[in-house]
């Protein structure tokens, strides 16, 4: 007797082969990468090329600037930098710029912090409308403020004083500082302050020990922006100062142009480099805090 035995074999399911990128998809990724890098490269060139040309001009002599078409100096020299440093008005203008910049930074942060805290934490009637109105000073160009500010400074006897520049610059910067800080403070959980309030902390203590330490990136951002605005401002210095001892660096650079018959481009370029180099070095050290303050404060 024959018994048929059925043998059952299990065939494992076919595992689909791993998809490999085809030539078209790989080419597409390369194209996307190129499209992403093109704006970045253009921005870098737009920023770095003028600075590079300025540095190269500062290392040339006056005759080489007019007689050579090469961007690079044939015989680099620091004579233009020595000329600028030995210039009578440079050191005084540098000190004035530092004092006005620091004063503007301190006053702007001191005024903007409690105002931003009030907008972020207190729910009062007209809060949003009032916050919108704080931007009005930023909408008025500085040229439109020259004559009113000059007349006001003459009336108050505040003409030709560093403190006047500090107050005017701070008044123009406080609206922007308030807007940045409001967005940042709103990201701080109110529960942290509520817990501190249960422990008996007053509003000022909550601001000092909770809000201000957490808001440090935003405060640094506001400080840098305030210092930069005060450092580079020119039109109001032109109106509110009358003596060389109270003027800042932008005005001193303006005085160097066209007073000797032939433009001294190497000295002007060296003046520019000496003016912006300290700011660039400081910014490079605190850049991460500035980015954190801007990006966090922008989230609602």
Give domain status of residue 278, yes or no. no
Give domain status of residue 80, yes or no. no
The 3-state DSSP class for residue 45 equals helix
pLDDT of 51: 87
Give domain status of residue 103, yes or no. yes
Give domain status of residue 82, yes or no. no
Q: For 176-233, write each residue's pLDDT tens digit.
A: 899 888 888 888 888 888 888 888 888 888 888 888 888 888 888 888 889 988 998 8
> How many domains does the chain divide into?
1
Q: Check: CB of residue 171 under 8 Å from CB of residue 137.
A: yes
Q: Is the pLDDT of residue 241 over 60?
A: yes
Phi-psi region of 248 (alpha: psi -120 to 50; beta: other; left: phi over 0): beta
Side-chain-facing half-sphere of 90: CA atoms under 13 Å: 17
Give domain status of residue 59, yes or no. no
pLDDT of 136: 76
Nearest to 250 by CA among 274, 270, 275, 273: 275
Q: For 98-108, write each residue's pLDDT tens digit.
A: 999 999 999 99
Phi-psi region of 145 (alpha: psi -120 to 50; beta: other; left: phi over 0): alpha
Q: Which two tokens stand for residue 120?
A: 């972020």
Average pLDDT rounded to a whole number, residues 256-271 = 75
pLDDT of 220: 86
Give domain status of residue 297, yes or no. no
CB count in 10 Å sphere of residue 114: 14
Q: For 150-161, write each residue's pLDDT tens digit.
A: 899 999 988 888
pLDDT of 296: 52
Domain housing 150: 88-255
* CATH code at position 168: 1.10.3720.10
Give domain status of residue 247, yes or no. yes
Q: Is the pLDDT of residue 22 over 70?
A: no
Between CA 86 and CA 264 the distance in angstroms is 15
Q: Is the pLDDT of residue 255 over 70?
A: yes
Q: Check: CB of residue 166 under 8 Å from CB of residue 107.
A: yes
Give domain status of residue 231, yes or no. yes
């Amino acid at each position: 007797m024959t018994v048929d035995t059925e043998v059952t074999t299990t065939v494992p399911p076919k595992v689909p082969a791993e998809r490999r990128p085809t030539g078209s998809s790989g080419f597409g990724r390369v194209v996307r990468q190129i499209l992403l890098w093109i704006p970045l490269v253009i921005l870098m060139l737009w920023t770095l090329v003028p600075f590079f040309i300025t540095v190269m001009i500062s290392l040339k002599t006056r005759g080489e600037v007019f007689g050579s078409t090469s961007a690079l100096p044939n015989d680099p020299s620091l004579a233009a930098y020595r000329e600028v440093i030995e210039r009578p008005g440079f050191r005084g203008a540098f000190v004035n710029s530092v004092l006005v910049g620091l004063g503007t930074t301190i006053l702007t942060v001191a005024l903007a912090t409690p105002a931003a805290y009030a907008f972020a934490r207190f729910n009062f009637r007209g809060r949003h409308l009032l916050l919108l109105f704080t931007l009005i000073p930023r909408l008025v160009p500085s040229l439109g403020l020259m004559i009113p500010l000059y007349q006001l400074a003459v009336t108050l006897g505040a003409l030709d004083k560093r403190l006047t520049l500090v107050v005017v610059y701070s008044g123009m910067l406080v609206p922007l500082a308030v807007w940045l800080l409001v967005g940042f403070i709103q990201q701080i959980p109110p529960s942290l302050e509520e817990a501190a309030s249960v422990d008996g902390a007053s509003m000022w203590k909550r601001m000092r020990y909770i809000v201000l330490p957490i808001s440090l990136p935003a405060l640094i951002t506001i400080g840098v922006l305030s210092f930069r605005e005060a450092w580079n401002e020119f039109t109001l210095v032109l109106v509110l100062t009358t003596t060389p001892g109270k003027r800042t660096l932008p005005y001193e650079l303006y005085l160097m142009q066209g007073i000797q018959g032939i433009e001294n481009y190497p000295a002007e370029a060296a003046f520019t480099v000496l003016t912006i180099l300290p700011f660039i070095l400081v910014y490079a050290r605190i850049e991460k805090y500035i980015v954190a303050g801007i990006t966090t404060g922008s989230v609602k």
